[in-house]
Amino acid sequence: MGEQSEQQRFAVLIDGDNAQASLLPQILAEVSKVGLITIKRIYGDWTTTSMNSWKESLHKYAIQPIQQFRYTVGKNATDSAMIIDAMDLLHTNDVDGFCIVASDSDYTRLATRIREEGLFVIGVGERKTPEAFTNACNQFIYCENLTIAKEPKKKLRKKTKKEERTGVLDPLPLLLQGFEMAAKEEEWIHLSWMGDALRRLDPAFDPRTFGHQKLQSLIKDYPETFVLKLDDSKTPPVSYVALTTS
C-alpha cells in the first residue's frame, strides 16, 4: 500500500473519435511505466457505430465511457467535453499527471495548461499529430511505435541499418545534441541523463521510431560516435555513454 501511494497518479483521457481501440493495452502499459493509472475515461457519441470498436474494451480494462452527443453534423464535441473534465480533475488535485490520447491540435492548450500547474503530460497519437501538440507534452508516444511493438521480433529484425538512417529519420544530430545537453563538462554520463535530455529536446523522441526498443541499442548503431560502458558493480547495473575519441 505504501509503495502504491508514492507512485504518481495518472488520468488517462481518450478521444474515442480519433484513437485506435486495438492499441488500448499498449497505451495503458506505456502510462503504467510512469505511474499508477487511477482514472480511465473515453469520450464519444456512443449512439454511433464508429464507437463499436471500443465497447469490448470497456469492461475488460475498467474504462468509464462518457457520452457526448454530436449537436451539429460534421462537428466534434468530444474534445470540448474532454477538456472540461480534464480541467475539473486538474483543480481537484486528484492526479499528478495526464495521458491525453488524441491526434488533434485542439488539445495543445490543454496540455500546456496542465504543465503550467507542474503536472506531467503524456500524449499518444498518430504520426500525423501536429507538432504544436506533441511539443506541448512532456512525452509524446506515436501510435505507430505501439503497433511496431506488437509485431514479431523476427519481422522487426528485417529492418536494415541503412533503412533506419535514411532521410529525416536519422537520429544522430538529435543524439549528439542530447549528449551535449546532459554532459556539460563531463566526459562520461549516465545513459538515463541523456535519455532525459532527449525528451526535453523532443517530447516525441522514442528509440522505437528508429527500429530499437531501447536507447542503449540505438546508440550501439553509432560506434563511430558513441561508446558505452556498463558498471555492473551496482544493483541494478548502470550504463554510461561518452563520445568516441578519434
Q: Which among 2, 12, 234, 228 is positioned nearest to 141, based on CA atoms?
A: 12
| SS3 state of residue 95 | coil
Whether the per-residue pLDDT at 155 is higher than 60: the answer is no
Instruction: Determine whether 95 is exposed, middle or buried from the number of CB atoms within 10 Å of its CB (0-12, 13-18, 19+).
Output: buried
Q: Which among 40, 65, 72, 63 is positioned nearest to 51, based on CA atoms?
A: 65
Assign 191 a pLDDT band (cuts: 50, 70, 90): very high
Lowest mean pLDDT among 15-19, 44-48, 149-153, 169-173: 149-153
Whether the per-residue pLDDT at 77 is higher than 80: the answer is no
Structural domains of the chain, ranges and CATH numbers in brackets: 2-150 (3.40.50.1010), 156-243 (3.30.420.610)
**Chain mean pLDDT for the chain:** 84
- Quote the CA–CA distance of 52 and 195 in Å, as a whole number: 38
Q: Which among 74, 10, 103, 83 is positioned nearest to 66, based on CA atoms?
A: 83
pLDDT at residue number 227: 94
User: Once rounded to an integer, what is the mean pLDDT over residues 148-162?
Assistant: 46
Q: Are strands 238-243 and 189-190 parallel, antiparallel or unpaired?
A: antiparallel
Q: Which among 56, 57, 52 is positioned nearest to 40, based on CA atoms?
A: 57
Assign 168 a pLDDT band (cuts: 50, 70, 90): very low
* DSSP codes, 184-214: TT-SSEEHHHHHHHHHHH-TT--GGGGT-SS
User: Once rounded to an integer, what is the mean pLDDT over residues 222-237?
Assistant: 88
Assign 240 a pLDDT band (cuts: 50, 70, 90): very high
- Quote the CA–CA distance of 143 and 149 in Å, as a whole number: 10
User: Once rounded to an integer, what is the mean pLDDT over residues 11-34?
Assistant: 91
Whether the per-residue pLDDT at 229 is higher than 50: the answer is yes
Q: Grid coordinates in use for 30?
A: 506505456
User: Once rounded to an integer, what is the mean pLDDT over residues 116-121?
Assistant: 95
Whether the per-residue pLDDT at 122 is higher than 80: the answer is yes
Q: Are strands 139-142 and 189-190 parallel, antiparallel or unpaired?
A: unpaired
Residue 101 zone, left/alpha/beta (φ > 0; ψ -120 to 50; rest): beta
From edge to edge, which strands make up the β-sheet containing 238-243? 189-190, 238-243, 226-231
Assign 234 a pLDDT band (cuts: 50, 70, 90): confident
User: Once rounded to an integer, what is the mean pLDDT over residues 121-130?
Assistant: 94
